[in-house]
Structure 1
Amino acid sequence: MKQILTLVVTVLIVFTSFGQSKIIYEEFNSYKLDAPRRLKIQLPRDYETNTDKVYPIVVVLDANYLFEPVAGNVDYFGYWEDMPESIVVGVMQGESRYDDCSYDDTNFMPADQGADFFEFLGLELIPYIDENYRTAKFVIAVGHDFTANFINYYLFKDPPLFNGYINLSPDLAPMMDERLPQRIPSVESKIFYYLATGTDDIKDLMEISENLNKSLKPLESDTFKYYYDNFEGATHYSLVARAIPSAMEKIFSVYRPISKQEFTDVVMKLETPVHTYLMDKYKTIEDLFGLTNPIRINDFIATATAAEKKKQWESLREIASLAQRQYPDTVLGDYYMARFYEETGEPKKAMRTFQGAFDKEEVDFITVDLMLDKADKIKEDFGY
């Protein structure tokens, strides 16, 4: 008996060879475009296991060639906590990119298929991703030449659709170089704006970027975070590989763990209590990216060390108390609380706190042996 099996494939999931990243291919039927569009979506490594976590979105136009460099950098930066793990959504365009980015010859705003594509992204794609995936309220758009120009149109929405704009050698529409500097000061929400060119870029496009940089740089403010790169020796295409990691590093600088440079140049020079810097850092992360992340152990240790060096004992107590609440099964909070007791004239409390961590998980340099040695030293010194 002959059997006929008909398979209709709408979603294909592909795992990397090490079984961590996940790529999903979807065919999205757009009523705005009256045509299907292929999407390529990369989910974060822990998406399946960490079901309470939400993720920013990175929308990549020209995904036929831009998706992989963007997705690779997002995965890499997310792995090392230099940016939040994010959902990367690529829109495959191919030859349709020119029609997708078309604008009116008179007012130079999206027209015809360009107007439809504009609505497709804002009214269909982003709501679809929000509905079907666990998303945070922070969205970045990435575009190259024509599509880089196109993402700027969303700045003229109120509020803008995207929080971050990565413009790679934009081929600006007429008047865009005048409209952007006029519009940006009136945008109330916080915007991250990155612009890149290269010294070997197409000459006209390099000049466009250089002139736009001159107009946008003076507009830097608390609500308009602006970054610019002109890469030495980079061509129109090679600049992409250098610009994407630079953009991610700059846009998400506040998200990164406290580095040695930040510790030396910022934390140690604070005139305010160190613990407020720690709390403000994570409040900023929550406000900007919609993420309520626990404070990293690295950042607890960095700020506690600074509090010790600066002899800010009340700050040390606050940091220790936070660490005890967030990491109760580790020695982290107990160690710094005991150090607070040591330095504020309560050796017996310090000794007992050091001793009380004997069955807890060790963290970094803070071992159980270190805790017990410190308890024994206090006992010896004070004859308890």
Structure 2
Amino acid sequence: MKKSIFFLLLSLLIAPVAQAQAIYESFRSVKLDQTRELKIQLPRNYQRNEDKIYPVILVLDGDYLFEPVAGMVDYFSYWEDMPESIVVGINQRKTRLEDGRYDTAQYLPTGSGANFYEFIGQELMPYINETYRTAPLKIIVGHDYTSNFINYFMFKDNPIFQGYINLSPELAPTMIEKISNVLSKDPKNTWYYLATGANDSDQIKEDVIQLDARIDSLKLQNLNYHFDNFAESTHYTLVGKAIPKALEDFFQMYRPISKKIYRDVILPMEDESRFEYLTNIYKTTEELYGFKRKVRINDFIAISTAVEKTEDWEELEPLGDLAVKEYPDSMLGYYYLGIYYEQIGEPKKALRAYEKGFQKEEIAFLTKDYMLEKATKIKEDFGW
């Protein structure tokens, strides 16, 4: 009996550790005529959720950058601040200079650099897609020399990556111009993160700040762009701050609407539809992450609060219909429809909506007493 209890406790202790361990693979590349060492971290519930697909985060300089990225991805996804994701690292300790080689005329990958570029695009990423259950969203991460390299993937008409995490990039000559030209097209569903630090290399810091100024001057509407210049951080210590910041920025749409987004984006909207803003968030995340999510109660409340503050009542009808669809057993959708009908002068329809809502389950701030009060008030006002 004691032995069985001991082995049960031992298995419980070992299981979480096993979940956090990386898979180590040797990948034979025809393009490179070499074998490359990979580190792959699968989500904790990968084996259990057989039908689920996952975004992929490819990490260059995997010999030292994989663990901090994989650790933060595991941490963020554990708290549901980002979707569970597959993290893939390429070890480059002995090859990074050759892997990132570019010519001195066009400053584009050449020789071993061109081979490494093709290895990622034509061999490694297809292998990851075929071997694991991957979602459309792909992100690539690099530091200094390899950070410069990841930008070359943006120059294709249909880039295989939608997200670029640039950690103190050591930019090649003309790269600022090239990146600016690509981003000036204002691509949708593209995320670009850029970071330097106060104590970064002077030349790197100068170039990164110049690139940020160029991107900022473009006044882009669709590009999801974020820049950080960390105080008192060096070329190496900024990495520890930038990785969680980049993930937080990239997956902002995945989390509930924040007070800041409500205040700075949703409330000031004039020509845009707040309802469409909400549905576009969920449509975009479904396309990128590969699974459909129910609209959060928090997000319904954020949109409806802004609608009521600005008295843009027409938005409440589609919002109410969506809430009925998403939460058919709750009061939420019927409450929004009741408010809408009241405001457009349809008291009978409003009464029916509140009465239907009264029969449903309480949710958030809505109670049976409150719904009854709304219905009773209409009856009193019209003598019914």
Quickly name the TM-score band, shorter chain normalised. Answer: 0.7 to 0.9
Cα shift at 1:230: 1.5
Q: 1:186 to 1:303 in 2, by over 3 A?
A: closer
Question: Percent of counterpart pairs with the same letter?
Answer: 47
- Counterpart in 2 of 1:375? 372
Cα shift at 1:147: 0.8
Distance 1:110 1:176 in 2: 12
Distance 2:34 2:259 in 1: 51
Structure 1 unaligned blocks of 5 or more: 1-13
Stretch of structure 1 that moved more, 370-379 or 319-328: 370-379
- Counterpart in 2 of 1:353? 356
Stretch of structure 1 that moved more, 140-149 or 84-93: 84-93
Cα shift at 1:71: 2.1
- Write out per-residue CA displacement over residues 281-319 of structure 1, whole angstroms, 9 at most, x where no aligned residue: 333445666664332222112223333444444432322
Q: 1:166 to 1:104 in 2, by over 3 A?
A: same
Aligned Cα RMSD in Å?
Answer: 3.3
Distance 1:187 1:121 in 2: 25
SS of 1:111's equivalent in the other structure is coil
Judge conservation of contact 1:102–1:113 (CA < 8 Å) in 2. yes
Distance 2:106 2:378 in 1: 82
- Counterpart in 1 of 2:231? 232
- Write out per-residue CA displacement over residues 77-105 of structure 1, whole angstroms, 9 at most, x where no aligned residue: 33455444332221122222222222345
- Counterpart in 1 of 2:318? 318
SS of 2:267's equivalent in the other structure is helix
- Write out per-residue CA displacement over residues 18-47 of structure 1, whole angstroms, 9 at most, x where no aligned residue: x86674333222222223222222233444
Q: 1:299 to 1:52 in 2, by over 3 A?
A: farther
Judge conservation of contact 1:26–1:38 (CA < 8 Å) in 2. yes
- Does 1:168 find its partner at 2:170? no
Judge conservation of contact 2:167–2:242 (CA < 8 Å) in 1. yes
Aligned partner letter, 2:40: I
Structure with the higher helix share, 1 or 2? 2
Aligned partner letter, 2:57: V
Distance 1:230 1:348 in 2: 55
- Does 1:261 find its partner at 2:269? no
- Write out per-residue CA displacement over residues 92-149 of structure 1, whole angstroms, 9 at most, x where no aligned residue: 2222222222234555432333222111110111111222223222221110011111
Judge conservation of contact 2:69–2:243 (CA < 8 Å) in 1. yes
Stretch of structure 1 that moved more, 206-215 or 142-151: 206-215
SS of 1:315's equivalent in the other structure is helix
Distance 2:52 2:211 in 1: 38
Stretch of structure 1 that moved more, 272-281 or 191-200: 272-281
- Counterpart in 1 of 2:194? 195
- Counterpart in 1 of 2:40? 41
Distance 1:129 1:330 in 2: 42
Stretch of structure 1 that moved more, 193-202 or 344-353: 344-353
- Does 1:70 find its partner at 2:91? no
Distance 1:207 1:322 in 2: 49
- Counterpart in 1 of 2:5? none
Aligned partner letter, 2:347: G
Aligned partner letter, 1:90: G
Distance 1:110 1:355 in 2: 65
Distance 2:134 2:146 in 1: 24
TM-score by length of 1: 0.81
SS of 2:153's equivalent in the other structure is helix
Judge conservation of contact 1:32–1:116 (CA < 8 Å) in 2. yes
Q: 1:263 to 1:129 in 2, by over 3 A?
A: same
- Counterpart in 2 of 1:9? none
Q: 1:207 to 1:261 in 2, by over 3 A?
A: closer
Judge conservation of contact 1:323–1:332 (CA < 8 Å) in 2. yes
Distance 1:140 1:320 in 2: 36
Aligned partner letter, 1:144: H
Aligned partner letter, 1:345: P
